[in-house]
Chain A
């Protein structure tokens, strides 16, 4: 049955005064929005299948294409929004679970936008980062409870405490878990290359590590998720760190599903599953039903890697996130990564993505506070994830208590993603979230690598500017220092959870 109640979301407008019939748009749209009529010698567009990815408008050499919202407006209704109505139409016709991609796009409060950073005036002189050294180097991993220094026979002081394995980051920003499979080979390559170039880390996600990316393994964190794809001793040992994925901010409590048609020869080899079979990640790890079970897996991984790699546990920010994080630390996690409500995904049920979990700002503050209260904050580093849109967001997260952040969506956007949220269709016109050979070649990994490293450089410079303004010369001095934050427009309760004072106080 034709989905006749669902009207197009977008309207494609073509300026006839500028269109030169060059057909670039026709060649670029994987959704067949544009077509060329040989008889009329005319390019025309049908907005019905437009996803609003702007590929055509971006490549149009004359700027003849504009993509607008469909003009067909529903009668205003504050309760029954157009989206609600549309979704009901879709489900009435299809009867299935509605899917979406990328992060939560609902207007839940973005706390970053209610937090303001401090700057020094007179009493604590600010620092010019262009003239003075400014340290962004960050070490992730368990820090000792105390440090013991001994004097050796030669009389020189020597560190007597054994330091747990650490990840050294040149800047406190890492690339989040995005699996090869959910994103293309070229996108995966770019992330790995950029991490190596920028002195930070890229996370493989749960899709295994393609043999081609092994040269970058020392800048990669490999994931062990509920599907255990691509996991073997070599995989664990070649990487810089291992991350156990318990949950994902975009879909807490939900597993993953890479359809069999995307499992080609290379992906099948990398994931270690038969070609053409669905790659299903169960919702839970079926061997982890308790903190004690988690401890067992952490220990098993540490044994398998000779205790040479930090082990991270990634959890979604949910209601009891601080208790879970505390448990993870007590179970031996060296790093706890928390993925908030707005974290991205290649595919998730829309209703889960939009309604489950809590914002990263609150989760991060709560976990940091809880670990401090329990006196175990030093035993693990905290990595925040779930939509960092700017250097300011990163700086605020660090002030709230994060040691570093994961960026996924921002990285995808740097590579060209236009947030059309259709990754799940596999027809990414930007060559990022697709395995279609027509589309994957659109992402030149060298170009994408350059764009990613540029982004990291730009954000790092901005963080240095902010630090300098605060009068501190190292990211360490901002970490967990909530005195550098003030809240605007938040309730007392929210401020209490965030541990920040209102602006003016």
Chain B
């Protein structure tokens, strides 16, 4: 399947991916409104890590054998049969954090409201995820490998 890959050698650490992810997953989809009114409610699915000059953007790997999927007690964590993406249905999630415990990439986090797990959804059906689309240096790519 197509996955998002980070190219750490070209990551600027600007965090535009996080910003655009937040906007994409906001209700308003408008950057200023999203930041002013919804910032506290949204956990971006992508997170930029940095230490010294090494930085990269990390998000869910949508693993072939996904530990979070195996650990989910509610069935909220599921695989989209069409895209292969591992998705979390926030309505079903009860916040037991088994996924947080098992994700070896640390890519599943508690949502800001602490009610449900939050993770990358590959921008649910968009042709290209916004983090990839908005990376000014093409340090995040979306491809079949």
Direct A–B contact in the complex, CB atoms closer than 8 angstroms: yes
Binding site for B on A (CB under 8 A): 17-18, 20-24, 27-28, 59, 61-62, 436-438, 441-444, 446-447
State which of A17, A61, A437 has its C-beta within 8 Å of the C-beta of B19.
Answer: A61
Q: Is B12 an interface residue (CB 8 A)?
A: yes
Tell me if B10 and A441 are in contact (CB < 8 A): yes
Q: Is B6 an interface residue (CB 8 A)?
A: no
Tell me if A61 and B138 are in contact (CB < 8 A): no
CA distance A59 to B36 in the complex (A): 19
State which of A17, A22, A447 has its C-beta within 8 Å of the C-beta of B137.
Answer: A447
Q: Supply 8 further A-B pairs (C-beta < 8 A) apart from A59-B14, A62-B32.
A: A20-B19, A20-B36, A59-B16, A61-B31, A438-B53, A441-B53, A444-B7, A444-B10
State which of A22, A62, A442 has its C-beta within 8 Å of the C-beta of B12.
Answer: A442
Q: A441-B11, A441-B53, A444-B137 are in contact. Are A24 and B19 (CB under 8 A)?
A: yes
Binding site for A on B (CB under 8 A): 7, 9-16, 19-20, 31-32, 35-36, 53, 134, 136-139
Tell me if B14 and A27 are in contact (CB < 8 A): yes
Q: A24-B16, A27-B14, A28-B12 are in contact. Are A442 and B137 (CB under 8 A)?
A: yes
Q: Which residues of A contact B10 (CB under 8 A)?
A: 441-442, 444
Q: Can you name 5 A-B pairs with beta carbons within 8 Å?
A: A18-B32, A20-B32, A22-B15, A59-B136, A441-B53
Q: Which residues of B contact A18 (CB under 8 A)?
A: 32
CA distance A437 to B35 in the complex (A): 31
Q: Which residues of B contact A28 (CB under 8 A)?
A: 12, 14
Q: Which residues of A contact B137 (CB under 8 A)?
A: 441-444, 447
Closest-CB distance, B28 to chain A (whole angstroms): 13
Q: Which residues of B contact A446 (CB under 8 A)?
A: 138
Tell me if B139 and A444 are in contact (CB < 8 A): yes
Q: Which residues of A contact B138 (CB under 8 A)?
A: 444, 446-447
Q: Which residues of A contact B19 (CB under 8 A)?
A: 20, 22, 24, 61
Closest-CB distance, A353 to chain B (whole angstroms): 31
Residue in B closest to A437 when the chains form the complex, CB atoms: B53
Closest-CB distance, B6 to chain A (whole angstroms): 12
Residue in A closest to B19 when the chains form the complex, CB atoms: A22
CA distance A441 to B138 in the complex (A): 11
CA distance A444 to B15 in the complex (A): 16
Closest-CB distance, A104 to chain B (whole angstroms): 31
Residue in B closest to A446 when the chains form the complex, CB atoms: B138
Tell me if A27 and B53 are in contact (CB < 8 A): no
CA distance A59 to B134 in the complex (A): 10
Residue in B closest to A25 when the chains form the complex, CB atoms: B14
Residue in B closest to A22 when the chains form the complex, CB atoms: B19
CA distance A210 to B121 in the complex (A): 42
Closest-CB distance, A315 to chain B (whole angstroms): 38
Q: Which residues of A contact B12 (CB under 8 A)?
A: 27-28, 441-442
Q: Which residues of B contact A436 (CB under 8 A)?
A: 53
CA distance A437 to B51 in the complex (A): 12
CA distance A442 to B14 in the complex (A): 10
Closest-CB distance, B40 to chain A (whole angstroms): 12
Q: Which residues of B contact A27 (CB under 8 A)?
A: 12-15
Tell me if A24 and B11 are in contact (CB < 8 A): no
Q: Which residues of B contact A447 (CB under 8 A)?
A: 137-138
CA distance A139 to B9 in the complex (A): 38
Name the residue among B19, B31, B136, B138 with the largest chain A CB count within 10 angstroms: B136
Tell me if B15 and A24 are in contact (CB < 8 A): yes
CA distance A62 to B20 in the complex (A): 11
Name the residue among B11, B35, B137 with the largest chain A CB count within 10 angstroms: B137
